[in-house]
Amino acid sequence: MKEVKNICCIGAGYVGGPTMAVIALKNPHIKVNIVDINEQRIADWNDADLDKLPIYEPGLKEVVAETRGRNLFFSTNVDQGIQDADMIFISVNTPTKTYGKGKGQAADLKYIELCARQIARVAKRDKIVVEKSTLPVRTAEALKDILSNSESGFKFEILSNPEFLAEGTAIDDLMAPDRVLIGGDDTPSGQEAKDTLSAIYEAWVPKEQVLQTNVWSSELSKLTANAFLAQRISSINAMSALCEETEADVDEIARAIGMDSRIGPKFLKSSVGFGGSCFQKDVLNLVYIAKSYGLTEVAEYWDQVIQLNDYQKRRFADKIIKKSYNTVNDKKIAFLGWAFKKDTNDTRESAAIYVADHLLDENAQVVVYDPKVPAEQVYADLEYLNTHDPEEIRKRVKIVNDPYEATSEAHAIAVLTEWDEFKEYDWNKIFASTLKPANVFDGRNILDKKALEVIGFNVYNIGK
């Protein structure tokens, strides 16, 4: 096993930031440098006011408070970070390609490749390079190729160490992971590298939960895990449509099947559709990979998970329109929530974006309240779709800081994110100020339907 005194992580995002903060917390003898080309992001990570960290995650600021300046550092000096490190994590973004071959499906690996080339160019000694980003199976081959062809002649051992944290619970997930997965070569130097990384995690993760595999299994396990999780949500959401036709209740069904120990209770919460930066991107990537190996049936199987999710988002918007006497033209629709799930300020691929877009097609006025998402993010999300003129978006979409202002005079109220505070509102007060009939569309099934009906609301749920 090699001694690691200095770690560098390239990418100070949702994964790099929290993951390295916890590694630093649990390994006070290791200096951890997180580097990023985004100057604003690094400035925010270094802000003296811990409420200004670029990522909101419960428990994160406490970990950063303890480690920052002790053995955790944030910098834009990528070259220096690489040079100083014994081990380099690559945790940059791997979005779906928006151009060229594989557009709309394949993962865009340009940032990964840039990192590999930069490591090859500036490294002054041997390094262990760890893929932290989610990558298509066999990416390590390309990394190895770039690094082993560098003129320096130094040796780079490549490991795959995918991250399984979920946003909103990132710190809890990192503190007590179900497992840590480390893939690497079965050569003596590969084994040594795997053991070196294992030891860092074993500072707090029980040894039996640190799993070592070959590098390809590790890469593909990450895509498989996300595909299985996303598939469960699409499966229960498919049943929700059937429930709405048959008076069955999707939450009761989830409970009934979840008690079967072979199925289990988690990830069976029917919703307006899954969002987030990972599920859609990773399933589409899997579809692309299967297709590229000529495995058409496999590709089509997983593609259905995405199609069903798109259907679920559209179905929710259509229901709002249908129950609004088939027109939302110039009607105020109040959105409670914009983030893709509670306890995060992340909005990437949030179902709210697509529901709003569909309502904008019908000339609705959308008023958004989310406790953590800033107004400019909402506009950026809608503009990114390129489906409506930015001026029109700003005319039709308003963002407010008060849920009572959002719902006042609204023709319909839609719950898009399952923020706990929505359950605590004074719904009598909301009822008094909203237009009648007072329609609530609970896209997360979190509100007390009976209590709201007693007040006078019509409550439309998913799968009930």
Task: Write out the residues near ligand UPG by the rule CB under 6 A.
Answer: 134, 163-167, 226, 229, 233, 267-269, 271, 274-276, 278-279, 340-341
Say how far apart CA 44 and CA 380 lie, in whole Å.
20
Choose between 271 and 461: whose C-beta lies nearer to ligand NAD: 271
Could you tell which of ligand UPG, ligand NAD, none binds residue 211, using a CB distance below 5 to 8 A set by kind?
Answer: none
Choose between 131 and 163: whose C-beta lies nearer to ligand UPG: 163
**Residue 254: CB partners within 8 Å, gap ≥ 6?**
236, 265, 268, 269, 270
Phi–psi pair at 210, nearest 5 degrees: -100, 110
- Asked if residue 408 belongs to a known ligand binding site, the reply is no
Neighbours of 253 (CB within 10 A): 18
Could you tell which of ligand UPG, ligand NAD, none binds residue 274, using a CB distance below 5 to 8 A set by kind?
Answer: ligand UPG
Burial of 405 (0-12, 13-18, 19+ CB in 10 A): middle
Burial of 248 (0-12, 13-18, 19+ CB in 10 A): middle
Q: Using CB positions, name the residue nearest to ligand NAD.
A: 13
Say how far apart CA 207 and CA 225 lie, in whole Å.
21
Choose between 219 and 370: whose C-beta lies nearer to ligand NAD: 219
- As measured in angstroms, the least distance from the Cβ of 181 to ligand NAD is 12
- Asked if residue 13 belongs to a known ligand binding site, the reply is yes
Say how far apart CA 276 and CA 206 lie, in whole Å.
29
Phi–psi pair at 460, nearest 5 degrees: -110, 120
Torsion angle of C-alpha atoms 246, 306, 340, 228, degrees rounded to 10: 90
Pick out residues in 377-406 that bind ligand NAD (CB under 6 A).
none
- As measured in angstroms, the least distance from the Cβ of 461 to ligand NAD is 28
- As measured in angstroms, the least distance from the Cβ of 94 to ligand NAD is 4
Closest CA to 209 of 219, 217, 198: 198
Choose between 89 and 457: whose C-beta lies nearer to ligand UPG: 89
Q: Residue type at 188? A: P
Could you tell which of ligand NAD, ligand UPG, none binds residue 81, using a CB distance below 5 to 8 A set by kind?
Answer: none
- As measured in angstroms, the least distance from the Cβ of 440 to ligand NAD is 30
Contact letters for ligand NAD, residues 123-152 (x by CB under 6 A)? ----------xx------------------
Could you tell which of ligand UPG, ligand NAD, none binds residue 233, using a CB distance below 5 to 8 A set by kind?
Answer: ligand UPG
Examine residue 347 and tell whether it contacts ligand NAD (CB under 6 A).
Answer: no
Say how far apart CA 21 and CA 15 lie, in whole Å.
10
Q: Which two tokens stand for residue 106?
A: 């394949």
Among 96, 105, 277, 285, interactor with ligand NAD by CB under 6 A: 277
Could you tell which of ligand UPG, ligand NAD, none binds residue 356, using a CB distance below 5 to 8 A set by kind?
Answer: none
Examine residue 45 and tell whether it contacts ligand NAD (CB under 6 A).
Answer: no
Catalytic residue set: 278
Say how far apart CA 412 and CA 408 lie, in whole Å.
10
Stretch that binds ligand NAD, among 7-15, 293-301, 323-331, 378-386 (CB under 6 A): 7-15
Could you tell which of ligand NAD, ligand UPG, none binds residue 340, using a CB distance below 5 to 8 A set by kind?
Answer: ligand UPG
Q: Which two tokens stand for residue 13?
A: 């995002």
> What single string gives the DSSP state of each residue in 54-88?
SS--TTHHHHHHHHBTTTEEEES-HHHHHHH-SEE
Examine residue 37 and tell whether it contacts ligand NAD (CB under 6 A).
Answer: yes
Rg (the chain; Cα; Å)? 24
Q: Which two tokens stand for residue 212?
A: 């070592």
211 to each of 89, 221, 288, how far by Cα in Å? 18, 12, 27
Torsion angle of C-alpha atoms 197, 203, 209, 210, degrees rounded to 10: 10
Q: Which two tokens stand for residue 361?
A: 């097609």
Could you tell which of ligand NAD, ligand UPG, none binds residue 412, using a CB distance below 5 to 8 A set by kind?
Answer: none
Examine residue 16 and tell whether it contacts ligand NAD (CB under 6 A).
Answer: yes
Choose between 163 and 219: whose C-beta lies nearer to ligand UPG: 163
Binding-site positions for substrate: 163-167, 222-226, 262, 269-275, 340-341, 444
List interacting residues with ligand NAD (CB under 6 A). Answer: 10-16, 36-38, 41, 78, 91-94, 111, 114-115, 133-134, 163, 165, 167, 277-278
